[in-house]
Amino acid sequence: MSLTGVPVPAGLLFPQTLLNTEWFAILATFVAINTVMYAALAAAKVLPKIHRPSWLRSRHERGETRSIHPDAPR
């Protein structure tokens, strides 16, 4: 309710003909996908970081030692 006593709508209402158009459906789909991606990125940022297990090799680590001492640790 406004100061003058005249009720003011709380939101924006579109006519039914606008809601049934193809471009509105495309826009709604884009907004939905954008919202899901934003929520997934926000959840990934909040969750604790997952570290690789020690038995799993990294990309820059050799599969076998190239030392002259074959029993040397990697």
pLDDT in tens, 47-60: 888 776 766 666 66
Whole-number Å distance between alpha carbons of 28 and 22 = 10
Are 72 and 65 spatial neighbours (Cβ–Cβ below 8 Å)?
yes
Structure tokens of 40? Answer: 């997934």
pLDDT in tens, 26-46: 999 999 999 999 999 999 999
Unique residue bearing structure tokens 């809601």: 19
User: ∠ CA(26), CA(29), CA(32), 5° rounding?
Assistant: 150
